Amino acid sequence: MDKLIIVRHSETEGQHEDSPLTKLGIRQAQKLAVLLDQSGAAIDRIISSPYLRAVETIRPYARSKDIDIERDDRLEERVLSHEPLDDWEEVLHDTFQDPDLKLTGGESSVEAKERVLSLIEELENQDCGNVLLVTHGNLLALLLQKYNREIGFYDWKRLSRPDVFLVQKQGGEYIVERIWED
């Protein structure tokens, strides 16, 4: 893998896996397609969370470049709990402080990170050129910890919808650059 572009989905109607993009989210997806086109990084593969909002976010770009969107469950958003949480943001904060914290029916930060890193490891062992991943905010923050251990809850809070990060190796080290402009 040469370059890795990681995208957080655009604004959505809700959090269910079949929640569509809002009208603003659709415009954001179109703006994203223009940004990616102008970035000069020729994308060889697009791999997305199977959730509708992730696929809809990258669809305008994929169509313009005639690239298939591969769906991979390892890019699904992390589930904190199968029970409704009124204080979900506080719980999320706690999972950044204690990566092994796991609620009933949920996934710890460690488990979610291992899931997404299994995909990254697979890609690193392939000659697949430039890869674009589309995922969700919490999982994106956990993935970015691979390249910067200091990424935490407040970095997650600052993520926009959409958001885009370029990861590339320079001089033996990974450089992460946020390339989305609100």
- What's the pLDDT score for residue 170? 87
pLDDT of residue 128: 87
pLDDT confidence of residue 152: 96
Q: Where are the domains of the chain?
A: 3-178
Which pLDDT belongs to residue 173?
87
Which pLDDT does position 56 carry in this prediction?
A: 98
> What DSSP assignment string belongs to the chain?
--EEEEEE---BS-SSTTPPB-HHHHHHHHHHHHHHHHH-----EEEE-SSHHHHHHHHHHHHHHT--EEE-GGGSPPPS-SS--TTHHHHHHHHHHSTT---TT---HHHHHHHHHHHHHHHHTS---SEEEEE-HHHHHHHHTTT-TT--HHHHHH--SSEEEEEEEETTEEEEEE----
Residues classed as catalytic = 9, 77
Q: What is the pLDDT of residue 181?
A: 85
CATH code linked to domain 3-178: 3.40.50.1240
> What pLDDT score does 1 carry?
76
Confidence at residue 182, expressed as pLDDT on a 0 to 100 scale: 76
Q: Each residue's pLDDT tens digit in the chain (182 positions)?
A: 789 999 999 999 988 788 999 999 999 999 999 999 998 889 999 999 999 999 999 999 999 999 999 999 999 999 999 888 999 999 999 999 999 999 999 999 999 999 999 999 999 999 889 999 999 999 999 999 999 999 999 999 999 999 999 999 888 888 999 999 87
Give residue 153's pLDDT. 97
- What pLDDT is attached to residue 44? 96
